[in-house]
Structure 1
Amino acid sequence: MIIDRNILFRNYFSNAKKYDEVLKSDMSINSNWEKLLSNLTQIGKENLLAKQDEINWLMDENGVTYNVYNDPKGMQRTWNLNIVPFLVHQDEWKTIEKGITQRAELINLILKDIYGKRELIKNGIIPQEVIFAHRGFLRQCDQIQYKTSKNLLIYSADLARGPDGRMWVVSDRTQAPSGMGYALENRYSLSRVVPNIFQDINVKQPSQFFYEFNQMLIEAAPQNKENPNIVILTPGPHNETYFEHAYMASFLGYPLVTGNDLVVRNGKLWMKTLKQLKQVDVILRRVDDVFMDPLELREDSYLGVAGLLDVVREQKVAIVNPVGSGILENSGLIPFMNVICKYFFKEDLILPQIASWWCGQKKERDYVLNHLKELVVKRIDRSNRENIFFCEFLDKKALNALKKEILLAPYQFVAQEKISFSTAPNLVEDILEPRKIMCRTFAIAKNDSYSVMPGGLVRVAAERENLFVSNQRGGISKDFWVVSDDTQTNIQNYSWDSSCRISISDINDLPSNTAENLYWSGRYLGRALVTARYLRMVLNRMNNVEYNERNESESLVFLYQSITHITSTFPGFVGKGSEDVLKNPLKEIISLIMDENRPGSFAQTLSSFNNAYYSLRSLWSKDMWRVFDGIKKQWRKFIEDDKYTIADLSKLLDRIITRLIAFMGLIEESILVSQGLLLYFIGLQSEQAMMNVAKCRSLLVFNLDEQVQYDILESLLTSHESLNIYRYSYRSYLNIENVINLILLDKEYAKSLTYQIRRIQKDIDRLPNSENSESISICKKHISEANTKIQNLNVISLLELNHDRTLRQNLDDVLAELSDLLHETSLAVSDTYFNHAYQQKQLVNQNFPLS
């Protein structure tokens, strides 16, 4: 097929001297890309744009995010995948694969030497400052021995095509290389949305690589333990790549844990579960080195486990990758890599790297200072918080300041040749544009060598002339194809040997933080739904006030005051200054709905639910992500407007309530009761029961005029979604006796307080018996007392008025007691099953700067 370059490559090159993956300088097409371009042409421009929109929608719907710190658009930025993949032919890939394997072997030996014999330093191959002045060198890891096949079990390299047409190594990633999960999601999304883009192209699938990845984790277990307990350690949902942590936990079937889920006891590492401690054999970590053990490393870290390094020394747990491997992400090593390769292997590096000069040597330092304008300068242990100096763009003052920094501590700096990496086509609007790209591929230890992933993750510069290729700077991703002349299966079959796989199949094995987030997801969801329904009811009453102004105004004042009591947002409508608040009630209600910084507001409850929910993303289905994303979209769309009418607010709550109910229905499809959903149910019923009590105390205790009482009873039933059930059940004029019977005492009605308390007691009885039997008995004692009390209530007694006939004192006293018992039950559940207070402290303070 003839490729219409005028359609695809209109104004593609503004400068034909730049090296491009597809087009040669004479504008002829690289033969490796011809079939892909043919497929793109066949799909057509309009369909390509439509499919790109569908990919964007799918990423958004599936909750694929990359967290960008301090992003004004919100931290959870949707992952960007461009429809045009990047490809490398297998003939070239064989060389790349060989080079990656060589480099992984080499870096593994460097790691072993740095924390072992240090022959590289003793023999003058590496200056000692390159190692000891780097923040990644941890003396606490010195001389630790490992029984795994390699010290470094996962290696990742960032690659880019250099000016000589070969792939160059730009940087090494060794602590906790990210990108595997995103690469999998990219392949899945592209093959789902645009299957015809693969037509007649033999693309290698990563299935075997991930099978070997899983096997590597299993084989890393100490003493070749069968069915080892493997966990994935995450810093938490605010980490930039948290989506991937949860994705890989779900994909591999291993529990996702935080540092609070783990504890060291008797020289071993244990996972805290609802019932007991369960020994951990392997950690796949996504936490940086210095945060892994607050007892020996950063004492202010809440991300790691106190005493973990000592368990590693005793070879009772394997960490992938080992603590201390951050020293290998050291640009100061790059100038010496070829010499190191010759020292260990008696051969040159297969893959070239950027020409680099370490400033700790006089000759190299003089060269750097004399040619500074032509170079790129960085610290040898540069963190994301520290700049790379592109010196060609610095003015004279900035250059002089940089020279002073270098001379002050020359061993901390490395300079590199400025080179222009290749570009590849990106679909932008309706044309292809060249964008700078960088590839990341992965190697894992396999027997005595390494296995390399066929492909990986490709990142693309956000703008056409942008030098930076960074996700934090708004980068885009591509699917990475390794294409072959041999026929390949397009079936992505990911399966593990079931005899060597541990899965969380029982509530007894549930990590404590996961259990706590399930519980609080139920609490926040229940609170959000009850609050939204109550505020919607009040708004609808406000909207109808003109039809019955005299009675409604008195009723509304009562309802306004009840809002403050139910949500505990004092002073509000009842405290100091309430007269002024009542003059403009809509302002207060808008604050209660929209102010995320106000404790008790609907916005803050929704935000808290988002945090608990996001921490559990490895458990939830994609349908749940779509529903919850719909809630966030409705919310974001609404808050862009700063003028809210009563009708607008009511419609917003209508939409959110509908989605919250849909979400609640989907939860039971995502996780079994026996796997932890029980905790969600306890949290949900507890919160709804407590808010049920609060509503009844606010609306039923006071003795009101007949018409006002009628309005209040109708409001209560409406907010409780019980008005139709009341009419069907009693077929009578609203009266308080029947309302109390239905809302508080009915044993069969799922929204009655009696039913909710019985359900809480039943579910708590099903919780595992933890080691703290005394706390369990307290849980059961409080809820049992509440159940007994409500079972023995008599509605006639509850209706009795006090001596001045202003309130139903018995009813208020009983509800207050039930509120206290429910609160005590909740505290006892938390103390028994979610206690993360244990923490060890260093005896001597140590200062580890942020890396």
Structure 2
Amino acid sequence: MFTPKMDVKPHWTKLFKGLGELGEEGLNARQRDIDWLLAENGVTYNVYNDPKGLHRPWNLNAVPFLLHESEWKLVEAGLKQRAELLNLVLKDVYGERNLIKNGIVPSEIIYGHRGFLRQCTGIKYSTEKLLSMYAADIARGTDGRLWVVNDRAEAPSGMGYALENRSTTSRMLPEMFSKMNVKGLSGFFQEFNQMLVDASPENKENPNIVILTPGSHNETYFEHAFLASFLGYPLVQGNDLVVRNGFLWMKSLKGLKQVDVVLRRVDDAYIDPLELREDSRLGVAGLLDVVRRGNVAIINPVGSAVLENPGLIPFMPAIARYFLKEELILPQIASWWCGQEKERNYVLNNISNLVIKRIDRTNRESIHFGEFLSKDEIEKLKAEINLRPYRFVAQEKINFSTAPNLTDGKIEPRNLVARTFSIGTEDGYSVMPGGLVRVAPDRDTVRVSNQRGGTSKDFWILEDAASKETKAHYWQPKPSIGATGLNDLPSLTAENLYWAGRYVGRTLVNARFLRMVLKQMVLVQNSSEKPDSVKLQVLFNAVTQLTGTFPGFSEKNKKGEFAMDDPYKEMLSVILDKNRSGSLAHTISMFSNSYYSIRNLWSSDMWRVFENIQKIWRSFEEDSDRSINKIIKVLNQLITRLIAFMGLIEESIMVQQGLLLYFIGLQLEQSTLTITKCRSLLSIKYDEQVEYELLEYLLVSHESLNIYRHSYRSYIQIEHVIDLVMLDLEYSRSLTYMFNRIQKDISKLPHSDTMHHLVDYQKYIFEGFSKLRLANSIDLVKSESKEDVVRKDLDNLLEELSDLLYETSQSISKTYFDHTTKQNQLVRQSFPI
């Protein structure tokens, strides 16, 4: 922000003035607004092994990073040159290898790098540039110029976060943003989309483009989902894709749909378990063969990781002269590759003043700062270098300049690294005017990393005059393409929608039942009734049946303990033990996982409600108050938010775009749990008073008591309860209605209308619906003798219905979600992680 004379640089003046006008409190308020907006939009960054949880909120600092257009033009030219240079290196490495033949680059730097994949040699590509995307990390050196710190070419991340940062700061700092002539980003993303379209091997006008993600636990999964939603392309995982007859196909609900372009976020070695890492579950078996045949475009090409090689840095000037007859425009960090004797001796003699890296990123802890190493650590590192010198490169320790950062309410200097993005075009490379700025967490930290707690900034390129920017109204060349439907839905997305429905239904039904039981426990505490009364025993057993947390209240556990001796302890476990399968906490966790896996489909309002559910539950887990009344209060909040969430789902996506699968899962789960409740509370006879109370509990947990009173206006009778909860065709919570709804919904599935007869899942649900329509409540409660304890006809019907629902679920899964099994290599290969 300042010149060496401590004057504010001209292009920082307006921002400096604007920050002054806001004042300390005003700036802190804007920061709080930014934090709130990012949380509201669900912007997250996954930090591995973080005790705070996997999905950490994205941090964006209120003070942006500025560069003037005059300085940026030089940087832009340097980035274009470097991208072109690395593009030529990539072609040469997997082609003629003239760099090695002519002694420009030692062979060990290429062949000793984990990113070099012999399987990719000789593959021809149809894209304008072999290296379609390139990212460079840059930082300002002590000479005032911006230096290249790292090259990223495998599957460079950060582009989506940069766009989200721009969206947020332009909203939260509108007065400064509008006055400072910030260069826009929309033109770059139009070119980015056009690059994907043009990459299609057969030059299709509207190619089928997918974004391949490792899954929701990946550190930048938010970005994968964000770009899929922003660009309108399916977000797929390896199991969504399959190779057939030399082509790549996406498994949709109806069948296979050919894929033309894959924007991948899966690392090279994991992309094809048949030719690369055989233990990978993230890629597609046979994908490299499809690439060789020229039937699919992969961006970036498999094998691009060889460019993420600090060992190349010392040789880049020579490479530039060899290929381009030019000198490097952007400076680099002074580097010494240890595979050369002279350079190795220099490194060994000056190791305490250097930064030592391996030429490939075998793990995140492979960077050694010599000044912080003990004598023993230095000797150990020297031994490693002498053993395999070609694996190591040393770099000069540079004190990069800092930028202003809002920290704890004050402006402080912080080290930062800016990641820039370039994409291949017909004329060369196009560079994003800005990028993703990452900031060190404190003053003394040299390494800048989001995994280490760093924050981010928006990156503003300032022009002298405002430029007009046209935003794209559509991405594809032809805007007349029809809306996508079930046939375009990836099978894994469909499965996640189906299970999202099941888990949200399970969470809601179980929460309501547990709340009802807890209320009865409170009433018993406040009365003279015994805590082991028959009705409470029935309710506790029903809890175990409904949640599946056996042995629970049904029998003694392996330690010889009986939950009925301490019902409160068992109820607490059923609600809060997230490691116990079937518990409410475990179900909420599974619901969260299924939601995250398809978050690109949901609206911002849905995210807000979802995040509110997570906050309520996290707060409850951290609260020391475990009283029954406290739990009931939390369950009330949870149930209300779940109902709001379910209502918003229908506004988020269309039935033919996947909502149908959610509905089927929801109705199947609610039907199954309704049957379990009815079997637990209705199948066995009790004395008149207990039975009356159990009927009332069933209606309360089913949210049907008021409807019953309005409909029958009589003393609660079992025949009427069965009519309402099980047999009423018009009541949306009755079994008959839900079976009928499932029957209608599954008839819309792709395979349902291709046969002249019912498919298996239709048969099962039709049989169940028929049994319910033929049933009569009076006959179901009849007993052959007064001594009969069980209502056999009712119990048998409920058991048959339960089995039919299970068979329906299994049939749907086998028909639509049967992902290919793992394929093994004929020859075992070893790939370092």
Q: CA deviation at 1:43?
A: 2.0
Q: State whether structure 2 residue 153 is matched by structure 1 residue 174.
A: yes
Q: Which runs of 5+ in 1 are unaligned?
A: 1-21
The residue that corresponds to 2:654 in the other structure is: 672
CA contact (8 A) 1:776 1:828 kept: no
Q: RMSD over aligned Cα, in angstroms?
A: 1.6
Q: State whether structure 2 residue 771 is matched by structure 1 residue 789.
A: yes
The residue that corresponds to 1:194 in the other structure is: 173
The residue that corresponds to 2:317 in the other structure is: 338
Q: 1:695 aligns with which of 677, 697, 701?
A: 677
Amino acid of the structure 1 residue aligned with 2:58: W
Deviations 1:762-782 (A, max 9, x none): 100111128996997111111
Q: CA deviation at 1:568?
A: 1.4
Deviations 1:95-152 (A, max 9, x none): 0000000000000000000000000000000000000010000000001011111101
Q: 1:61 aligns with which of 40, 48, 68?
A: 40
| Cα separation, 2, equivalents of 1:557 and 1:635 | 28
Worse-matched range after superposition: 802-811 or 106-115: 802-811
Amino acid of the structure 1 residue aligned with 2:565: K
The residue that corresponds to 1:652 in the other structure is: 634
Q: CA deviation at 1:621?
A: 0.5
Distance 1:54 1:384, change over 3 A: farther
Worse-matched range after superposition: 539-548 or 333-342: 539-548
The residue that corresponds to 2:331 in the other structure is: 352
Give the TM-score of the pair, scaled to structure 1.
0.96
Q: State whether structure 2 residue 617 is matched by structure 1 residue 635.
A: yes
Worse-matched range after superposition: 685-694 or 549-558: 549-558
Q: 2:790 aligns with which of 775, 787, 807?
A: 807
| Cα separation, 2, equivalents of 1:444 and 1:579 | 65
CA contact (8 A) 1:56 1:81 kept: yes
Q: CA deviation at 1:597?
A: 0.9
The residue that corresponds to 1:841 in the other structure is: 824
Amino acid of the structure 1 residue aligned with 2:539: L
The residue that corresponds to 2:542 in the other structure is: 562
The residue that corresponds to 1:6 in the other structure is: none
Deviations 1:347-373 (A, max 9, x none): 110000000000000000001001111
Amino acid of the structure 1 residue aligned with 2:769: N
Partner-residue secondary structure (3-state), 1:433 = strand
Q: State whether structure 2 residue 489 is matched by structure 1 residue 524.
A: no
CA contact (8 A) 1:150 1:445 kept: yes
The residue that corresponds to 2:494 in the other structure is: 515
What are the equivalent positions in structure 2 for 1:375-390 lying under 5 Å apart?
A: 375-390=354-369
Worse-matched range after superposition: 378-387 or 234-243: 378-387
Amino acid of the structure 2 residue aligned with 1:554: V
Distance 1:480 1:493, change over 3 A: farther
Q: CA deviation at 1:566?
A: 1.4
Q: 1:160 aligns with which of 131, 139, 148?
A: 139
Q: CA deviation at 1:207?
A: 0.8
| Cα separation, 2, equivalents of 1:288 and 1:360 | 27
Deviations 1:186-225 (A, max 9, x none): 0101111221121421100011100000000000001211
Distance 1:372 1:24, change over 3 A: same
Worse-matched range after superposition: 254-263 or 637-646: 637-646
What are the equivalent positions in structure 2 for 1:312-461 lying under 5 Å apart?
A: 312-461=291-440
The residue that corresponds to 1:573 in the other structure is: 553
Q: CA deviation at 1:717?
A: 0.5
Q: CA deviation at 1:51?
A: 1.1
Q: CA deviation at 1:674?
A: 1.1
Deviations 1:267-286 (A, max 9, x none): 00000000010000000000
Worse-matched range after superposition: 116-125 or 571-580: 571-580
Partner-residue secondary structure (3-state), 1:783 = helix
Q: 2:735 aligns with which of 753, 761, 765?
A: 753
Amino acid of the structure 2 residue aligned with 1:567: T
Q: State whether structure 2 residue 591 is matched by structure 1 residue 609.
A: yes
Q: 1:762 aligns with which of 735, 744, 762?
A: 744
Q: 2:454 aligns with which of 443, 460, 475?
A: 475
CA contact (8 A) 1:227 1:501 kept: no
Partner-residue secondary structure (3-state), 1:416 = strand
Deviations 1:300-353 (A, max 9, x none): 111110000010001000000000000000011011001000001111100000
The residue that corresponds to 1:686 in the other structure is: 668
What are the equivalent positions in structure 2 for 1:110-149 lying under 5 Å apart?
A: 110-149=89-128
CA contact (8 A) 1:257 1:511 kept: yes
| Cα separation, 1, equivalents of 2:527 and 2:394 | 79
Deviations 1:474-513 (A, max 9, x none): 0100000000002134886564245179786111110000
What are the equivalent positions in structure 2 for 1:261-276 lying under 5 Å apart?
A: 261-276=240-255
Q: CA deviation at 1:241?
A: 0.1
Partner-residue secondary structure (3-state), 2:37 = helix
Q: Which runs of 5+ in 2 are unaligned?
A: none
Q: State whether structure 2 residue 690 is matched by structure 1 residue 711.
A: no
| Cα separation, 1, equivalents of 2:249 and 2:192 | 23
CA contact (8 A) 1:218 1:500 kept: no
Q: CA deviation at 1:42?
A: 1.6
What are the equivalent positions in structure 2 for 1:464-503 lying under 5 Å apart?
A: 464-489=443-468, 495-499=474-478
CA contact (8 A) 2:206 2:476 kept: no
The residue that corresponds to 1:15 in the other structure is: none
Worse-matched range after superposition: 648-657 or 377-386: 377-386
What are the equivalent positions in structure 2 for 1:532-571 lying under 5 Å apart?
A: 532-546=511-525, 548-550=527-529, 553-571=533-551
| Cα separation, 1, equivalents of 2:640 and 2:180 | 45
Q: 1:619 aligns with which of 598, 601, 605?
A: 601
| Cα separation, 2, equivalents of 1:141 and 1:500 | 36
Q: CA deviation at 1:825?
A: 0.2
Distance 1:470 1:596, change over 3 A: same
Deviations 1:651-671 (A, max 9, x none): 111111110000000000110
| Cα separation, 1, equivalents of 2:718 and 2:538 | 16
Q: State whether structure 2 residue 277 is matched by structure 1 residue 298.
A: yes
Distance 1:34 1:750, change over 3 A: same
